[in-house]
Chains A and B, each alone.
Chain A
Amino acid sequence: MSMIEFHDVQKYYGKFHALKDINLTIDKGETVVLIGPSGSGKSTLARTVNGLEDIQDGKLIVNGRDLSNPKTNINLLRKDVGMVFQHFNLYQNKNVLENVMLAPRIVLKLSEEENKQRAIEMLKMVGLEDKAENMPSQISGGQAQRVAIARSLAMKPKCMLFDEPTSALDPEMIDDVLQVIKEVASRGDMTSLIVTHEMGFAKEVADRVIFMDDGQILEDSDTKSFFANPQNERAKKFLSKIISH
């Protein structure tokens, strides 16, 4: 069973062709890592999956809902598809606990009691239950990102999108966040699409690696063979540059 299906998807920003002929199927429970140079369209691709970016042509089906159809209720789709952003995007006017509790209260209409219990459970999972009363401005970037992950998980999504979750973090914060993502992605029923520059992490967590450049998918292989023996020339070059660092 597939969770995400792209069929000949095209995305334009005005005249700029940001996603070209994207064909991609991600199965339920799979963990797919998306890599490629900056500006290659990997974030754009991830953002089309929950409709933060619209597409101009082709068919995109996520969790059985057709995003290419403008009548599709995008909010219902987003209930099941969580997203973690490069810059965390925690609500600056709410404390950590409220950040986690808001969407389950409004969208899922959970009772306060159940919601709070669930929120604390999520914060425990990311190791931050003692920060529940703090404001986002009072915690570190790494902590904020873990709260953002807890916020997404509180919706009990079937699929998680991670859009460069560690790119804005200090190096010593990265490991804690990757650890949490790994835990989430390894759940059997969780589908994860992860955009990242962390190659070691990709190797460890991914079932499949997709390499993008210039708005196109240039390689789509299982993790082992991608890192051992990439087929595409651009991918080879990219890997040799990144790994030599």
Chain B
Amino acid sequence: MINIISNHWEELLNGLGWTLLSSILALFFSLIIGSFFAIMEVLPSKTARVIGQIYVEIFRNIPLLVITMFFYLVIPMYVVKINGFTAGTIGLTIYTSAFIAETVRSGIQSIDIGQMEGARSTGMTYWQSMRYIILPQAFKIVIPPLGNQFVNLVKNSSVLAFVAGFDLMYQGNMLASTTFDTINSYLIVGLLYLVITLPMSYYMQHLEKKMA
């Protein structure tokens, strides 16, 4: 194990870096896209709600790998050339955004209807009420489940390995096939994932306790 680390630390660090970068990008964009569709799902307009539901139900119920392969193989054929890292990160973003949309939607809907009525009755518009009253309360409620989604996201970023995304899992596969030391290669990769996800989990628990 020490051998692999001392001989291949550069590839491993590189993989860790790509995994982190992909995760951060996907986290940022899936939070925005997911919140957007969550709001679509609770709008008074039925058309908006249906569009939101279709998006969520499609991408929540297709395997991440299928979505990623679509962006890796189909999009470059017909639309625009993108590399494996980009395709993987887009797939990860879209897939995660569907789960975030569901999480945020349930948070919004858990806020008592009276909060909206109270705000509307003072002459605030629907959007003002959402912005100042509903969404701040909803996001506070969904911080713990969102944390779970983010931990899942980091783990799911291993899908990049399938599309030559040069991430941690990709480097693990390479190490295993070049050194033939499969056990130690994957042990190291697993430990490196823990280096990212364990602090996240602890931080989430800390936030949860602080808010309770």
Contacts and interface: CB of A to CB of B under 8 A. Distances in A.
Nearest to A105: B132
| Contact-size category for B | 10 to 19
Contacts, number: 64
B118 interface: yes
A221 B87 CA distance: 73
Contacts of B57: none
A82 B124 CA distance: 12
Given A89-B115, A89-B117, A90-B118, A107 B123 contact: yes
Interface in A98-125: 102-103, 106-107
Residue of B115, B120, B123, B137 contacting most chain A CB atoms (<10 Å): B123
Interface residues of A, number: 26
A162 B140 CA distance: 31
Interface stretch (A15-23, A62-70, A72-80, A199-207): A72-80
B120 A52 contact: yes
Nearest to B126: A75
B124 A103 contact: yes
A93 interface: yes
Contacts of A78: 120-123
A93 B118 contact: no
B125 interface: yes
Contact of A93 (B125, B128, B140): B140
A192 B136 CA distance: 33
Contact of B122 (A76, A88, A94, A107): A107
A88 B119 CA distance: 11
B136 A83 contact: no
Interface of A: 50, 52, 75-76, 78-79, 81-83, 85, 87-94, 102-103, 106-107, 148, 151-152, 155
Which 6 A/B pairs are nearest by Cβ-Cβ distance?
Answer: A89-B118, A103-B122, A89-B114, A78-B123, A83-B121, A79-B123
